[in-house]
Amino acid sequence: MKLTDRLLRLLLAAAAALFAALPVQAQEAQEAAIRKVLTARLPQLKVDEVTRTAVPGIYEVRYGGTEILYTDEHADYVFTGSMVDTKTRADLTEQRIAKLTAVDFDKLPFKDSMVFRQGSGARKMAVFVDPNCGFCKRFERDLVQLKDVTIYTFMIPILSADSITKARDIWCSKDPAHTWRAWMLDGQAPMRMMGNTCDTSALDRNLAFAQKEHINGTPSVFFADGTRKPGAMSGAEVEKLLVATSAAAARKH
């Protein structure tokens, strides 16, 4: 090992030890100071929380509920990106965001969803979708192939005015689940809803829930242990997550 490499490692180890030894009060004061500086310099950044990371001198700044950036101990610089543990290759930023965006699956508003039970239906997942979302249509073809799963499908018409019309027509049909898949898989448009005799308040509640939980795109997928994944995935990826999250949810209960 080169002398400079050894010296660098010693310095980093010493810095880490010193950083870890800081009293709690001093650490809290440091975090408060960073927050104060960022608020003054970047007033548009609504800081929710500042916490130190595993990297000496680097702090996590949480804003907008679930958004993350990083800064130095003086808040002179901010940067975004993934923090990766090179020993385990774990994406620490991804893990942190997953924790922040996790939901209590059992508390999802299931009565406002369309339910698809495939096989035994033993495994559970939920998807938030828009009827005019192209990714959702491709994703639906993968969902149909899954075995022994219950899929709770929540419509959130966010892409266009026509999305609202289609969502209402699907929800007000005689068999919303059948109508949904006829549209998503076969392009069979739902019959137009006439008059105001159908209660579509479920769609309003879905939109309110999506806003509360920062569900800004479709599809958004939730698994039984609270794991959340934005965007479409392959069937193989979903199956892998179903196995892992179903086991995690079983241990939790």
Per-residue pLDDT reduced to its tens digit, 51-94: 999 999 999 999 988 899 999 999 999 999 999 999 999 999 98
Q: What is the pLDDT of residues 102-156, one digit of tens each?
A: 889 999 999 999 999 999 999 999 999 999 999 999 999 999 999 999 999 999 9
Which residues in the chain are classed under CATH 3.10.450.70? 22-101
Quote the pLDDT of residue 21.
Answer: 57
pTM: 0.75
Helix (H) or strand (E) holding 70, with range, is: strand 67-72
Quote the pLDDT of residue 22.
Answer: 54
Q: What topology does CATH give the domain 105-252?
A: Glutaredoxin (3.40.30)
Torsion sign, CA atoms 243, 246, 249, 253: negative
Domain 22-101 coded CATH 3.10.450.70: yes
CB 216 within 8 A of CB 202: no
Residue 1 has pLDDT above 70, yes or no: no
Cα of 57 vs its chain's centroid, Å: 28
CB 75 within 8 A of CB 37: yes
As a whole number of angstroms, the distance between CA 61 and CA 98 comes to: 16
As a whole number of angstroms, the distance between CA 230 and CA 133 comes to: 13
Q: What is the pLDDT of residues 41-50, one digit of tens each?
A: 999 999 999 9
As a whole number of angstroms, the distance between CA 235 and CA 230 comes to: 15
Residues 6+ apart with CB under 8 A from 194: none
Which residues in the chain are classed under CATH 3.40.30.10? 105-252
**The pairing of beta strand 228-230 with beta strand 149-155:** unpaired
